[in-house]
A and B are shown apart, each in its own frame.
Chain A
Amino acid sequence: MITDITIGQYFPGKSFIHRLDPRIKIILTIVYIVILFINQGVFGFVLSIGLLAVMYLIAGIPIRMILKSLKPVIPLIIFTSVLNIFFIGGTVIWQWGIITISWEGIRLAVFMSIRILALIAGSSLLTYTTSPIALTDAIERLLKPLKYVKFPVHELAMMMTIALRFIPTLLEETDKIMSAQKARGADLESGGLIRRAKALIPILIPLFISAIRRAEELALAMECRCYRGGEGRTRMKQLHLGGRDAVAVGVMAACLAGVILMNLFLPTVL
C-alpha cells in the first residue's frame, strides 16, 4: 500500500533554481514575501507575479503542481475577501439595507487575494525545488547565530533529520499493524467518527511502543558512533555560495528596489 513515499513536496530537478544554495533560497523567499506586502500598486503586482512565473518556468514545475498547492487556501481567500468587501468603508458604490460595498473594499480584497496566492505559490517554489534534507541543513546554518542565546539549533536540526528519516519507517509499520489488527477481526472502516477514532487505539498503541523502542536503540547506535551533540561537529557537505546565488540575489534586490520606487513615484493608478 505505502511503497513509494515522498516526504514533503520536493520535485526533483537540476534547474538553476534547484541548484541555488538553500540558505539563499530561504532568505530570498522571505524577501519576496516582504515585497508582496510592501507593494501598493498594480505595477508592483505585475512585476512580482511576473518574476514568480519566470522562476516557475526556469524550475520546470508543471502548472498543475502550482494549482495543487493553491487549492487549500481558497477558503481563506474567500473569507478574507468577504470581510474586506463588506467591512471596509470608503466610496460607496452599491448599497442594500445595511450592506454596503465600497470601492476601497473591493480593491483591498483583490490585492489581499493576490498577495496570499503569490505568497503560497512563492513559498511552495522553495519546497518544490529544495529537498527536505537541504532545507533542514540550511535552517541549521541560518539559525546558527542563535546558539549564542542558548537556542538549541543543532538539536532542532537533528530532530528534524531523525523525524524525516523515520516517517517512512513508521508509515510502513502502521501499515503492518493495520493489517495485523484487521487479520484479527478489527473493524477500521465502518461506524461513526467516535467509533472509528476508538478503532485507531489498537493501532496507535503498538505504534507508540515500537517507536519508543526504536528511539532507544537509535540513541544507543548514535552513542556508539560517538555522537555528543553539536560541539566540535564537522559536516561532510559544505555549502558554498556561487555565481548563481549572486545572480539570484541581484534579481531579487532589483525587484525590491523596483517595487519601492514604484510605491514612491508612480501614483496609485487604481
Chain B
Amino acid sequence: MEELLKAEHLDFVYNEDQQDGKQVLFDVNLSVSPGEFVAVLGHNGSGKSTIAKHFNAILLPSGGTVYVKGIDTKIEEKLFEIRQNVGMVFQNPDNQLVATVVEEDVAFALENLGVPSDEIRRRVDEALKTVGMYDYREHAPHQLSGGQKQRIAIAGVIAMRPDCIVMDEPTAMLDPKGRREVLQTIQKLNRSSHTTVVLITHFMDEAVQAGRVVVVDDGKILLDAPPKEVFSKVELLKSVGLDVPQAAELAFELKQSGIPMPDGILTEEECVAALEKLLKEK
C-alpha cells in the first residue's frame, strides 16, 4: 500500500539561518498508511509537534524529505493541495475558529478553496453532523464549551474532505468531558469514515486507543509499534519521562513481584478480568 505520509531522514533545526540554531529532529523516518490511527507520544519538548507540523508544510525540513501522497512538501505550487489533503487541528480551540457563527466557521476552508455555495452548504451540514454539532450550527463560538469548540474545529477540517487529519494535542486544554467528546469524534472519524488520524498527545490513555504508537524522545523515534508492545516496555518509557497507563503499570508491578499476570494489559477492564481469572484459579 502506498504511504499517505512519509518522512525520510527528516532533520529539523529551529532558526537554521542563525548562529543559535537548535536541532530538534534527528533523522526521523516515519510513514503512515491510509486508514491508520497513529498516536505520537512524547513529553514536552520531545519534538512531537515539530514532526506534526512537517506533514502539512507549516515547517519545511532542514534535511531529508517529507512526502504527502507522494508530493514533496517543499514544492510550493502544491502547498494548497497538501494542506487540503492533510487537515490540522491545534491545541487551543479558541485560537483556530475564525467566524462568529459556527456554520460560517466550518465553511471557512471551503470558501477559501472556492467551492460553489450549494456544495459548501451540503458539506458543512455533513461535517457538523459527523461531529454531532449540527444543532449548534447557528451558535456563536463563545457560547460553546471547550470540547464543543474543538469539535467545530475538527468539523472545519473534515469539511475539506482531507485524507488525513493531524491533531496537535487537541485535548490538552479540555476538561475530562471535553476530552471524551473529542476522542469519541476522532475514533468515529477513523472507524466509519476511514480518515487517517495522526494524534499527537502526551496522554497515555489516548495513545492506547490508537492502532500504532510512535514514541518520540529528544527528536528521535524511540519506539514504533502497536500499543500493547509499546506499553509493555514500562522501564524504557519511564526512563524517558513517560508514564504508562495505570492498568499496565499495575500489571507490570504485580509481575515483578512474582504474580503471573498475562502480557499486554492496557485497560482497566483487561486488568480486572486478568485478576479475576487468577483469583478463581487459586
Q: Is A235 an interface residue (CB 8 A)?
A: yes
The answer to whether A224 and B83 have CB atoms under 8 Å apart is yes
Q: Is A241 an interface residue (CB 8 A)?
A: no
Can you name the residue of chain B whose Cβ is closest to the Cβ of A173? B94
Binary per-residue interface labels of chain A (99-143) against chain B in the complex, 1 for a CB within 8 Å, 0 otherwise: 000000000000000000000000000000000110000000000
Residues of A within 8 A of B117 (CB): 234-238
Complex CA–CA separation, A268 to B88 (angstroms): 69
Can you name the residue of chain B whose Cβ is closest to the Cβ of A224? B88
Residues of A within 8 A of B111 (CB): 233-236
Mostly helix, strand, loop or mixed at chain B's interface? helix
Can you name the residue of chain A whose Cβ is closest to the Cβ of B88? A224
Residues of A within 8 A of B18 (CB): none
**CB within 8 Å of B: which of A215-270?**
217-218, 220-228, 232-238
**B77–chain A nearest beta-carbon distance, Å:** 13
Residues of B within 8 A of A221 (CB): 88, 90, 95-96, 98, 153
Partner pick for B99 among A165, A168, A217, A226, CB 8 A cutoff: A165
Can you name the residue of chain A whose Cβ is closest to the Cβ of B108? A225
Complex CA–CA separation, A168 to B141 (angstroms): 9
Q: Is A78 an interface residue (CB 8 A)?
A: no
The answer to whether A218 and B98 have CB atoms under 8 Å apart is yes
- The tally of CB-CB contacts under 8 A between chains A and B is 97
Complex CA–CA separation, A233 to B124 (angstroms): 16
The answer to whether A224 and B92 have CB atoms under 8 Å apart is no
Residues of A within 8 A of B101 (CB): 133
The answer to whether B142 and A5 have CB atoms under 8 Å apart is yes
Q: Is A24 an interface residue (CB 8 A)?
A: no
The answer to whether B104 and A225 have CB atoms under 8 Å apart is no
The answer to whether A225 and B58 have CB atoms under 8 Å apart is no
**CB within 8 Å of A: which of B115-167?**
115-117, 120-121, 124, 140-142, 153, 156-157, 160
Q: Which residue of B96, B98, B100, B117 has the most chain A CB atoms within 10 A of its CB atom?
A: B100
Can you name the residue of chain A whose Cβ is closest to the Cβ of B94? A169
Complex CA–CA separation, A236 to B84 (angstroms): 18
**Would A228 and B95 be within 8 Å (CB), given that A220-B90, A237-B117 are in contact?**
no
Can you name the residue of chain A whose Cβ is closest to the Cβ of B116? A234
The answer to whether A165 and B114 have CB atoms under 8 Å apart is no
The answer to whether A164 and B83 have CB atoms under 8 Å apart is no
Residues of A within 8 A of B254 (CB): none
Q: Is B186 an interface residue (CB 8 A)?
A: no
Can you name the residue of chain B whose Cβ is closest to the Cβ of A160? B100
Residues of B within 8 A of A214 (CB): 92, 94-95
The answer to whether B110 and A228 have CB atoms under 8 Å apart is no
Can you name the residue of chain A whose Cβ is closest to the Cβ of B95? A217
**A169–chain B nearest beta-carbon distance, Å:** 6
Q: Is B259 an interface residue (CB 8 A)?
A: no
**B38–chain A nearest beta-carbon distance, Å:** 19
Partner pick for A224 among B56, B115, B121, B141, CB 8 A cutoff: B56
The answer to whether B95 and A224 have CB atoms under 8 Å apart is no
Q: Is B51 an interface residue (CB 8 A)?
A: no
Q: Is A161 an interface residue (CB 8 A)?
A: yes
Q: Is A172 an interface residue (CB 8 A)?
A: yes
Q: Is A162 an interface residue (CB 8 A)?
A: yes
The answer to whether B112 and A236 have CB atoms under 8 Å apart is no
Complex CA–CA separation, A172 to B143 (angstroms): 12
Residues of A within 8 A of B96 (CB): 217-218, 221
10 closest pairs, A vs B, by CB? Answer: A221-B96, A225-B109, A168-B142, A217-B95, A236-B107, A236-B120, A224-B88, A226-B112, A232-B114, A165-B100
Contacts A/B (CB < 8 Å), 23 sampled: A5-B142, A133-B100, A161-B98, A161-B100, A168-B142, A214-B92, A214-B94, A217-B96, A220-B90, A221-B95, A224-B83, A225-B108, A225-B109, A225-B156, A226-B80, A226-B113, A226-B160, A227-B108, A228-B80, A232-B114, A234-B120, A236-B124, A237-B117
Query: A-contacting residues of B (Cβ < 8 Å)?
Result: 56, 58, 80, 83-84, 87-88, 90, 92, 94-101, 103-104, 107-117, 120-121, 124, 140-142, 153, 156-157, 160
